[in-house]
Every structure is written in C-alpha cells, then in structure tokens.
Amino acid sequence: MTAAYPALADLDFHPYIDAEGQLPHQFEGQIGVYAVYAQDKTVAYIGYSRDVSLSLRQHIVRQPQHCYWVKVYAVQKPDRALLETIKAAWVSENGSIPAGNHDSKSVWEQPIDVKSQMLPEESAQYTDPQLDEQKHQSVLKNAARRIEKEILALLSQRGVQESLRFNPKLKDNGLLDLK
C-alpha cells in the first residue's frame, strides 16, 4: 500500500448485485476510483466518478455481461489528478489495460447507440429515404424500446430487483442511458 491510496489487490470485492437483487448503493454520492470485474474476477474496466453508484448503474446497463464484482476507493474531495493517478496505478498493477479501457472504451463510457444494434428490418426502415422525419423517429424509438426490454430481461435473469429507468428524451436520438 502506498501512502496516498491502496493498491487494487488490497481492496475487498463487492458483489455487483447483492442477495436482495440490489445494485451497490453504498457508494451513492461518493467520489472515487473503481474497478469492475467479470464473473471470473478479471478486471473488465477501471474508472473514476463523482458518483460511483451512478456510474456503476450505467455500466451494468451498458455491459451486463461483464459486471459481477467491483472494488472501490472513495476520496473526500474531487481531485482529478489524484483520481487519474490512482486509475493509472491500478491499470499498471493489473498488468495490462482492461478491454473496457482500451478496445471497448466507448461501450463502457457512452450511452448505448441504438442504431448500431438495429435488426436488419429496423435498419432498412430507418434508412428508407421515403420515410419522413417522424417515421424515422418512430423506428428509432421502437428499436430503443426493444433493446431496453432485452437489457432489462437480461438484468432480471441476473437477479436485479430494483427499478431502472432509461432517459426517455435520449430515445428520440437513438440513445439509451439511465435517467
């Protein structure tokens, strides 16, 4: 352990979904650095946030297949330099850059782009030049609703019991993110 912050290996694992089907609320409103682990306890993503709980909720919606465990180190004051230093140290300690911080960074950090997950028939409708703007928007919203249902069904299978609401305004733009 260094004087300023703990090594990643020194922190306890917390389940991403507890026995009651709840996501980790103990980090609500906390500023900190966190590491998300896959089911086999390999690091999938390392990040930092001004509200760790909110970020963890976004990650499980965006990458449910990779969110099984989490380690968190909370800090008292927002200090971007310190958070970046800890994150870099943890990546180094891990021995390699996690895929979520490299190859698939955007899927961990950005809202879900519905257009990239459209079914062929949805895509054909969406790109049909004869449809007006309202019809295009309808195709986007319907695709967003379908993908939202799939995500919520997957999370339900994983045992998540709490209610997750997606931002309805983003659906108009073909994006899914929690409210």
The pTM of the full predicted model, rounded to 2 decimals, is 0.91
Domain ranges in the chain? 8-109, 112-176
Q: Are 30 and 76 in contact (CB under 8 A)?
A: no
pLDDT tens digits along 95-121 = 999 999 998 999 999 999 999 999 999
- For 71, the enclosing helix (H) or strand (E) is strand 69-75
**CATH code for the structural domain at 8-109:** 3.40.1440.10
Q: At 68, which amino acid appears?
A: Y
- pLDDT tens for residues 51-94? 999 999 999 999 999 999 999 999 998 899 999 999 999 999 99
Q: Which residues contact 150 (CB under 8 A, 6 or more apart)?
A: none
